[in-house]
Amino acid sequence: MDTLFPFTKMTAAGNDFICVDASTGKMDWLLCRTDLPALVTRLCRRGLGIGADGLIFAQQPSGQAFAAVAARFFDPDGTEVELCGNGTACFTEWVLAKELVKNHGEVIIQTPAGLAQGKRVKAEPGRVRVCIPKPFGIKLGHQVTVDGRTWTVHTVTTGVPHGVVFVEEDLAGLEVSHWGPRLRRHPEFGVRGINVNFTQVLGVGRLAVRTFEFGVEDETLACGTGCSSAAFLSALVHGWPEAYLTADEPVLVDVRGGETLKVWFLADSGTLTVSSVCLETRVRAVYDGVLHPGFLE
């Protein structure tokens, strides 16, 4: 049995991912392991493994004639999740660079959340744009009290559940490590909970976002689906000009990793629905590697 474990480390706006080609069947021995979640956790743990915000497998698509490749996303706690925005951007650049698909410059990806489309931005080398499955379940104005402070949380499922909290104070000084886990696990948001996106409106069409992510159970340097959620919920809640609701203007989102993401969407303020979301981020390959066989024992 071939137990080689080749991988590529990718990063987008500060989110890093381990990308593994399981599309040929050579990695079936790994995918069938009963301890796969535990192994993912070991691989993603910084200092003791490769270290990453998640792991993504490329596989053959099933039941979707228009998809060129399928993506399976795992959080660092070993949980398999439906979607990851910056992960999809990394995955796009990786499958194109490794020529795992025949298309040049763009690819249709099957995800558990639905079909996503990724493409390189020709005018800005190194940037990737991904259009993700449409969000659903927008609910505004949850009033949640933790440790004596009441927060207003707006929720939506953008692949995975997100909460957006608008803050007036200096975002850089906010104790995300304190408030993030308390809001993330609040009973108001069910057993699974939410990713929490603390959002500061810098001006019309400009945001700063800090995200506490479940699965990582910590603040990350960026979150693509979280930034997307913050972008369209900001436009809906604050009544931004029509150009933002019709995808004529992108919302610019500054993240803790130092990058600025661009988010376009089609939204209806009357029905609180969003029918299309695309985000653009900078993607880099960090390194290729082969895991030492002893790590898998």
Look-up: residue for tokens 């930034």? 227
Measure the CA–CA gap between 282 and 129, rounded to whole angstroms. 9
Measure the CA–CA gap between 268 and 226, rounded to whole angstroms. 19
Q: Identify each DSSP E strand in the chain by its residue range.
A: 6-12, 15-21, 55-59, 69-74, 80-81, 106-111, 114-120, 127-132, 136-146, 149-158, 160-166, 195-203, 206-213, 218-220, 251-255, 260-268, 273-290
Which is it for strands 127-132 and 106-111: parallel, antiparallel or unpaired? unpaired
Q: Does residue 241 sit in helix, strand or coil?
A: coil
Cite the active site residues. 84, 223
